[in-house]
Chain A
Amino acid sequence: MDLSKRKNFYYIFSFAICFIIAGRLVQLQLINPDKFDKDAERNSVKTIVTTPARGLFFDRNGRLLVDNKPSYSVTVTKKEFDTTRMPTICSLLGIDEQYLREELKKIEGTNRFIPTRIMRDVDFRVISFIEENRELLKGIDYSIDPIRLYPTDFRGSHLIGYTKEISQGSLKKQQNDYYKQGDLIGTTGLEAGYENYLRGEKGYEFILQDSKGREVGPLNDGNNDVKAVSGYDLVLSIDAEVQKYAENLLKGRTGGIVAIDPTNGEVICMVSKPDYDLNYFSGKLSPEIWNSLNTDPDKPLFNRATQTRYPPGSTYKMVSAIASLQEGILKPNSTIPCEGSFRFGDKVFKDHGAFGSITIPTSIEHSSNVFYYKLVLKIGLDNWTKYGRMFSFGNKTGIDIPEETKGLLPSTEYYNKVYGPKGWTQGYVVSLGIGQGELGVSPLQMAVYTSILANSGTFFQPHLVRFLKNPNTGELTPVNYKRTELPVNKEYFGLVQKGMYLVVNGNGTARGVRTSEVSISGKTGTAQNPHGRDHSWFIAYAPSDNPKIAVCVMVENAGFGATVAAPIAQRIILKYLFGVNDESDVKEISGHTD
C-alpha cells in the first residue's frame, strides 16, 4: 500500500478544515467586528407572544353567543428574571412568594426566552405599576390576552364548554410543542371539540432590547416576526331563543333536553341541569369555585344530556316494534293478546291494563307492556341488540363535543360476561322488552333515535356546529357529518309513527299535550330508579306529517313521563316552530318564579 501518496489526502483535508474555520474567524472578528459589537450591545432579544383571538360562536340566526374581551396577564421571562429579587417583586406585585416559586417550578425546562404567564386576569393597576417600575421588575412583564365573554342571557354551559389553563399532563403529551405553560386550552364542550380550529395560531414578535431592558427596535426589521392567526368562528345549529327557553323550562330540576332537526342531525338545543356559570372559567378560576363545582352532590359539571345512562322505559318499545316487522316476526296487521299481566317462569310481569288483542300502533298508543314482553321473547336477544345498535344505542353518536357516553346496550356476550353463560335466563330479556333492566341510554341517544323514527330511517350524526367561519374572509366551511340509512323497510316506520301519533292525538298516554297548533307524535317513558323516584322520559317530534324537530326530555326523579317531561317537550316544539313565548308556561311547568 502506498500510504505516502494517500496521506496527502488527509493532510489536505485537515488543512482545508482549519483554513475554512480560520477564514470564517477572520471574517467575523476582523473584517466586520463593529456590526457584531453593536448587535451584542443591544442584543437581548425579547420575544413577545401574541395570543390570537379565539374563534367566536354564533347561533343559527347569527346571534353572537361567545365573544372575547381583553384581559391582562403578568408574565415572567426566566432569562431575565433574577431569583434573588423575588421578595421585592412579590411585595411589589402583592403576591405570595410561595405562589411565585411554584409557578416558576412549573416552567422549569421550558424556553428561557419566552415569557410565561404567572397571573391571569389581573387588575389594570398592576399593569400600570409594572410599566412604571420596569427597572425594578426585570423579567416581569404583562401581556394582553383575550378571554371569553358571554353576551347571552342563557347558560349553555355544557354545550359551549370552557377553557382552562393547560394541565402539566397535557403539556407533556402534546405532539408539536404548540402549547406553553399558562396557555388556555378548550377543556369541555365545543371549546374542546373544536380546539384546533378555535385557537388559531400564536404569533411572535422579536424585539431587541439593550442591557437595561429598553426596547431598541424590531429584530431583523421584523422580518422574523410571525403574525398571529385568529381562530375560526363557529356557526352553531343551536337556536339561542329555544336554548334559553328550554333552560328556563328545566330550571330547578335535574335532567337533560336535546332537540334535533331530523332532516339533518343539527342540534337545536341541548340543556343539562343543574348547570354552572361559564363566567367562572373566564379569566382566573378561583380554586374555591372549582372545588365547590367538583364536590357539589348535584354534579353541575356533568352533562346530563349526553352522559347519563338511565333505562329509557317505554320510549324504547319502538325498537322492538321495528325489529319484529323487519325480521318478519309480526306482519303489519298482526295482533298479540295482552291480558294485563305476563307470567314467565315463576315470575309475574305486570301491566297497567288489559288491552285485548292489539296491533303495533295500538300497543304504542297504550304503551302495553305485555305486548312487548311477549314480542321481545319472539325477537330474541340477539336481534333486539342488533336493532338497538342500528339506532346508535350502545355506541357514541359522534356528536362534536367530547363528553358523551356510549350507554349500555345489553347483548348475549354482555350477559355471558357479567353473569357467566349459564348465570342468566330469558327472564332478563323480558324486562329489556319494556326498556328496563340493564339498558342505559342518554337523552342525546334518545333524541337521535326519535329523529330516525321521525324521518323514517336515516341516521344523521348529531352536530352542534353548522359551519366554520374564517374570521378574515367570512368564508363558511360546512362541517362534515355522517349520514347512514337503516336497513329497514320505510313502510314499517309508518306503523310506528302512527302509534306515536296516537299517543298524543288518540287515546294515548300523552294526550294531555295535544295542541291545535301542530300535530305532535311522541312516546312517554318512565325509568325505574332503585335509588328514589323514577325518572321521567318523553320523546316527540313535530309536525307529525313533516317532522322539523325531534326532542327528548329527561327529568330525574319526576315520576311518570307524561306529567313533567311531556309538557316541556311540547313547549319546546311550539317555541321552535312558532316562536311562542309565554313566560307563564315556564313558571307553570318548572314551578319556579324568579
Chain B
Amino acid sequence: MQVKLFERFNFVVFISALSLISFGLVAIYSATYGNELVSGNFTKQLVSAVIGIVIVIAIMYTPPKFIAMSSYLFYGLVILMLIAVLFLGKKIKGQTSWFSIGGFGIQPSEFAKVATVLALAFFLSNKSQDTDIKKPRDFFFAVGICLLPVALIMLQPDMGTTLVFLVLILPVLYWAGMPNYIMFFIAAPAITAVCAYLGTWYFVSAVVFIIAMMFVFKRNLLISAVIVCITIASGLSVNMVYSKLQPYQQRRIVSMFDPESDPLGAGYNVIQSKIAIGSGGLTGKGFLQGTQTQLKYIPEQWTDFIFCMVGEEFGFAGSIVVVLLFFVLIWQTIHIAYICKNQFLSICCIGFATIFSFHVLINLGMIMGIMPVIGIPLPFMSYGVSFLLSNLIMLGLILNAYRNRKDYV
C-alpha cells in the first residue's frame, strides 16, 4: 500500500509546497502582528490555503483528458475577466487589477498565468490539428496566446505581471520542440536591447556574439543578415526610445535598475529590505523579534516583501531552507515534465516551473537588491488569495501530471 501511494502521489513536490505555504503563513502572521488594519490577512491566507489544498486534491484526480479539453474554455473565461476588470475593477495605487465578486477579491491576472500555460500546452500538444511549431502560422498562434493577456494586463497597468507571460514563451516553445536556432533568433533582439541599455560596450559585444552564433548555426546567408540587422536595430532603438521619454519616466527606469538612486520611492523599500535581511545574520532575531519587520519599516511587507521577515527573524538558516524548498519544488517539476508521457501535462509542468523560477528570481533578487524593482510576489508565500489559489492550481496540475505520467495521450 505504501509503495502504491508513492507510486501515484509525489510527496516531494507536495511537502515542499506545503512547507513554503507554512513559512508564508508564519511570515504573514509576524508581518501583520499588531497591525489592526491587516490583522485579518493571516486568517484569510490560512482559509485560502485549506480550500486550496482541497482543490489540489480534486485537480489531481481529474482525468487529464478533461483538463485538456477545458483548457480553451478556462483561457476564454480568464480573458473575459481581464476585460471585465478594466471596467469593473477597483483602482488601487494606479492599477485596476482586481474586483470583488460576492465579497471575494479576485485578481484575474493571477489565474491568467495558469490559463495561458494550459491553453499554450493544449495548442502545442494538439495531435488532431497536427500543430507544428516550426510553421510560422502555428508559431505566431502560440505567441499570440501569450500576448493577448499581456496586452490586457498592460492596460491595468501591471508591468511586472506582463513580464511573466513574456518570459513563458521561450522555455515552453523550446520544450515543445522549437529548433535551437529559432530560439536564438527570438532571444537575440531582446538580449541586445538590454545590453544596449546598459552601455555601448555591452551592445557591441552582444552584436559580436550574435554574429558569431550565426556562423555556428550556419543558416542561409540572407536570413542571418536579416537577423543581425533586426538585432542591431532593436539595440539602437532602445536608446532612441529612451531619449524620447519624459524625464520622470527615465527616472523610473533608472530607479528600477538602481533603486538607491530613488531613496524616496522604489529605493526606500529595497534599502530597508536589504537591511532587514542582512541584520538577520546566521540565526535571525527570533520570531516576532525583528525590528525591521515589527517596526513596520517596509510598507505592505506581507505581499511582495514577505521574505524580509524570514530573513530577519529566522536568519540565514531559515532563508536557505526556503531557497532549498523552492529549488526542490522547481527541480521536481522539471523532472515530472521529463518523465510524463502526456505531452499536454508535460508542457504544463515546464510552464509552471518557468513561472515559479521567474517569480523566485525576480522577487528574491529584488528584495536583496540584485534585480530590478519589479513588483511580483513570492510563490506560495506572499499574501494574496488569488495568487495563492493560482499557485495551488498549478501544484494540483503538477501532481496530476505525476499521477498520470505513464499514460500516453
Does the CB pair B368–A21 fall under 8 Å?
Answer: yes
Given contacts A1-B177, A43-B292, contact A14 B320 (CB under 8 A): no
A426 at the interface (CB under 8 A from B): no
CA distance A114 to B299 in the complex (A): 13
Complexed CA–CA distance, A526 and B317 (Å): 91
Is A37 an interface residue, CB under 8 A from the partner? Answer: yes
Assess whether A563 is interfacial by the CB under 8 Å rule. no
Evaluate contact between B282 and A29: CB separation under 8 angstroms. Answer: yes
A47 to B262, CA, bound (A): 13
In the complex, residue of chain B having the shortest beta-carbon distance to the beta carbon of A109: B93
Please state if B353 and A10 are interface contacts (CB–CB under 8 Å).
yes
The one of B171, B263, B296 that contacts A10, using a Cβ cutoff of 8 Å: B171
Does A14 contact B357, Cβ atoms closer than 8 Å? yes
B272 touches A30 (CB 8 A): no
Q: In the bound complex, what is the Cα–Cα distance between A44 and B298 (angstroms)? A: 11
Q: How far is the CB of A587 from chain B (nearest CB, A)?
A: 57
Which of B177, B277, B316, B323 is in CB contact (< 8 Å) with A18?
B323
> Chain B residue with minimal CB distance to A17?
B361
Output the least CB separation between B252 and chain A (Å). 11
Assess whether B365 is interfacial by the CB under 8 Å rule. yes
Chain B 262-275, CB-CB to A under 8 Å as 1, else 0, gives 01100010001011
Q: Are B326 and A18 in contact (CB under 8 A)?
A: yes
CA distance A498 to B379 in the complex (A): 87
CB 8 Å contact bits of B165-190 with A (1 = contact, 0 = none)? 00000010011010000000000000
CB proximity of B305 to chain A, nearest CB, Å: 14
Other-chain contact of B248, A18, A30, A176 (Cβ < 8 Å) = A176
Q: Does B41 contact A (CB under 8 A)?
A: no
Least Cβ–Cβ distance between A41 and chain B, in angstroms: 7
Chain B residues, CB < 8 A from A7: 334-335, 337-338
Q: Smallest Cβ distance from B231 to chain A, in angstroms?
A: 22
CA–CA, A43 to B278, complex, Å? 12
> Within the assembled complex, what's the spacing in Å between the Cα atoms of A201 and B292?
32
Residue of B nearest to A112 (CB): B299
Determine the distance from Cα of A24 to Cα of B274 in the docked complex, in whole angstroms: 11
Q: Is A93 at the interface (CB under 8 A from chain B)?
A: no
Give the size of the chain A interface in residues (CB under 8 angstroms).
46
State the majority secondary structure of interface residues on B. helix
Contact A79 B357 (CB under 8 A): no
Q: Is the CB of A28 within 8 A of B350?
A: no
Q: Are B311 and A29 in contact (CB under 8 A)?
A: yes
> B336 CB to closest chain A CB, in angstroms?
11
Question: When each residue 286-329 of chain B gets 1 if its CB lies under 8 Å from chain A and 0 otherwise, what string results?
Answer: 00000110011101000000000001100110011001101100
Contacts of B335 in A (CB 8 A): 7
Given A22-B323, A44-B297, A33-B278 contact (CB < 8 Å): yes
Q: State whether A20 touches B370 (Cβ < 8 A).
A: yes
Q: In the complex the two chains form, is A20's CB within 8 Å of B365's CB?
A: yes
B299 and A37 contacting across the interface, CB-CB below 8 Å: no
B276 part of interface (Cβ distance < 8 Å): yes
Known: A44-B297, A79-B296, A206-B263. A21 touches B365 (CB 8 A): yes
Query: What residue in chain A is nearest B177 (Cβ atoms)?
Result: A1
> B353, A33: Cβ atoms under 8 Å?
no
Q: Do B279 and A37 have beta carbons less than 8 Å apart?
A: yes
A17 to B331, CA, bound (A): 11
Q: Are A21 and B361 in contact (CB-based, < 8 A)?
A: yes
Q: Contact between A22 and B338 (Cβ–Cβ < 8 Å)?
A: no
Assembly CA distance A378 to B177 (angstroms): 87
Known: A29-B281, A40-B279, A43-B272. A14 touches B175 (CB 8 A): no
Q: How far is the CB of B296 from chain A (nearest CB, A)?
A: 7
Interface of A, helix, strand, loop or mixed by DSSP: helix
Q: How far is the CA of A15 from the CA of B331 in the complex (A)?
A: 8
Taken residue by residue from 7 to 35, chain A's Cβ proximity to chain B (1 for < 8 Å, 0 otherwise) reads as 10111011101101110111011101101
List residues of chain A with CB within 8 A of the CB of B277: 25, 28-29, 36
Q: How far is the CB of B277 from chain A (nearest CB, A)?
A: 5
Closest to A47 in B: B264
Find out whether the CB atom of B268 lies under 8 angstroms from the CB atom of A113. Answer: yes
Residues of A within 8 A of B275 (CB): 36, 39-40, 43
Report the nearest B residue to A224, measured CB to CB.
Answer: B263
A565 to chain B, nearest CB (A): 51
- CA–CA, A206 to B177, complex, Å? 54
Min Cβ gap B409→A in Å is 15
Residues of the A chain whose Cβ atoms lie less than 8 Å from the Cβ of B292:
40, 43
Given A29-B316, A33-B280, answer yes or no on A21-B263 (Cβ-Cβ < 8 Å): no
A28 B357 Cβ-Cβ under 8 A: no
A3 within 8 A of B: yes
How long is the Cα–Cα vector from A32 to B278 in the complex, in angstroms?
8
Residues of A within 8 Å of B236, CB to CB, are none
Interface assignment of B55: CB less than 8 Å from any CB of chain A:
no
Complex: chain A residue closest to B317, CB-CB: A29
Expressed in whole angstroms, the minimum distance between the Cβ of B279 and any Cβ of chain A is 4
Nearest Cβ distance between residue B91 and chain A, in whole angstroms?
11
> Given the known A-B contacts A11-B334, A17-B357, A17-B360, are A3 and B175 also in contact in the complex, defined by CB atoms under 8 Å?
yes
Q: Which of A128-177 contact B (CB under 8 A)?
A: 176
A106 to B83, CA, bound (A): 32
Q: Closest B-chain residue to A14, C-beta based?
A: B330
The reply to whether the CB of A593 lies closer than 8 angstroms to some CB of chain B is no
Is B364 interfacial (CB-CB < 8 Å)?
Answer: yes
Query: Contact check: which of B177, B278, B334 meets A39 at CB < 8 Å?
Result: B278
B331 surroundings in chain A (CB, below 8 A): 11, 14-15
Whole-angstrom CA separation of A203 from B278 in the bound complex? 30
When chains A and B are docked, how far (Å) is the Cα of A219 from the Cα of B264?
A: 12
Task: Answer yes or no: A276 CB below 8 A from chain B CBs.
Answer: no
Contact (A25, B368) CB under 8 Å given A37-B279, A40-B279? yes
Closest to A226 in B: B264
B residues 330-379 in Cβ contact with A at 8 Å: 330-331, 334-335, 337-338, 350, 353, 357, 360-361, 364-365, 368, 370
Q: How far is the CA of A44 from the CA of B297 in the complex (A)?
A: 7
The answer on a CB contact under 8 Å between A219 and B291 is no
Which residues of B are found within 8 Å of A47, using beta-carbon distances? 264
Alpha-carbon gap, A112 to B248, bound state (A): 22
Q: Is A61 an interface residue (CB 8 A)?
A: no
Residues on B with C-beta less than 8 A from A24 are: 364-365, 368, 370
B93 to chain A, nearest CB (A): 8
Residues of A within 8 A of B264 (CB): 47, 111, 113-114, 204
Question: Do A15 and B327 form a contact, CB below 8 Å, given A4-B338, A25-B316?
Answer: yes
B201 smallest CB distance to A (angstroms) = 23
In residues 197-243 of chain A, which contact B (Cβ within 8 Å)?
Answer: 204, 206, 211, 219-220, 224
Query: Contacts A21-B360, A25-B316; is A40 near B291 (CB within 8 Å)?
Result: yes
Contact yes or no, B279 A14, CB < 8 A: no
Report the bound CA distance from A446 to B241 in whole Å: 49
Residues of A within 8 A of B364 (CB): 21, 24
Could you list 28 A-B pairs, sorted by A, with CB under 8 Å?
A6-B175, A7-B337, A7-B338, A10-B175, A11-B331, A14-B330, A15-B327, A18-B327, A18-B360, A20-B361, A20-B370, A25-B311, A25-B323, A28-B278, A29-B277, A29-B278, A30-B282, A32-B278, A37-B279, A40-B275, A40-B276, A40-B291, A43-B275, A43-B297, A79-B297, A112-B299, A206-B263, A224-B263
A28-B278, A35-B278, A113-B264 given; 7 more Cβ-contact pairs under 8 Å: A10-B171, A10-B350, A13-B357, A18-B330, A33-B281, A40-B279, A44-B297
Chain A interface (Cβ within 8 Å of chain B)?
1, 3-4, 6-7, 9-11, 13-15, 17-18, 20-22, 24-26, 28-30, 32-33, 35-37, 39-41, 43-45, 47, 79, 111-114, 176, 204, 206, 211, 219-220, 224
